Structure 1
Amino acid sequence: MINKKYQKDNACCDVTFSLPLEVAPDAREVRVVGDFNNWNWEEGLPMKATKNKKEYRATVELEPGRQYEFRYLLDNERWENDREADDYVPSPFEGVHNCVVSLEAEVSAPVESAVT
């Protein structure tokens, strides 16, 4: 699930990525990797399990007005997609699709969307 919260000045958007714990029950570490962090495990956004242990969650500030590709990487070994991403696009690897989060260029008032 993706939650978007645009800043009042539209300079950035806080994007919270959530991955249900049942998707990765035995993972020691989960990160969000994508074009906003060079698809790199070391630069990936670490996710933390929520207190109720129902999901992993991480937030990053992204620039509005563009689309970002991403996937979840578990233990630097296994890839997972977000089942509620805004879109999916083919990756350079045959049969594999990347998730897309789309951020609007301008929002008239602070907007928060629970699910996109």
Structure 2
Amino acid sequence: MLKRTRLFGHKTRLTFALPVDEPEGVVSVVGDFNGWLPGRHELTRRRNGTRTVSVILPAGVHRFRYLATGGVWFDDEHADDVDHLGSVVHL
């Protein structure tokens, strides 16, 4: 799930959320906004049964994917688009 919160100055807080146990292990969101570096934006467990991380992004088009323990890459079905390069959001 993706949650968008508009901020001042043409920026948006984009919150990435996944169930607490699917997939198992550590999950990071990696994308053009963090140089595709795993571990930089690791999802954190919350009391409500989800794992989340928020990133403040400028207006524009951004690509991302999730990377789970064991080298498992996957996309977000709630993104604006998903293609052979991954998930896409338009902010």
Q: TM-score range by the shorter chain?
A: 0.7 to 0.9
TM-score normalised over the length of structure 1: 0.70
Unaligned runs of 5+ in 1: 92-97, 104-116
Equivalent of 2:88 in 88, 96, 100: 100
| 2:20 counterpart residue number | 21
Q: What is the RMSD computed on CA atoms of the aligned residues? A: 1.6
Structure 2 unaligned regions, length at least 5: none
Question: Aligned-pair distance for 1:75?
Answer: 2.1
Whose strand proportion is higher, 1 or 2? 2
Instruction: Give the structure 2 partner of residue 36 of structure 1.
Output: 33
SS at match of 1:46: coil
SS in 2 for 1:40: coil
Partner of 2:10: 11
- Structure showing greater relative contact order (alpha-carbon pairs closer than 8 Å, 6 or more residues apart): 1
- Whose radius of gyration is greater, 1 or 2? 1
Identity %: 31
TM-score computed with the length of structure 2 as normaliser: 0.88
Letter paired with 1:19: L
Is the CA contact (8 Å cut-off) linking 2:76 and 2:82 kept in structure 1? no
The one-letter code sitting in structure 2 at the alignment partner of 1:79 is W
**Are 2:73 and 1:79 aligned?**
yes
Number of aligned residues: 91
Q: Within 5 A, what are the aligned runs for 1:51-66? A: 51-52=47-48, 54-64=49-59, 66=60
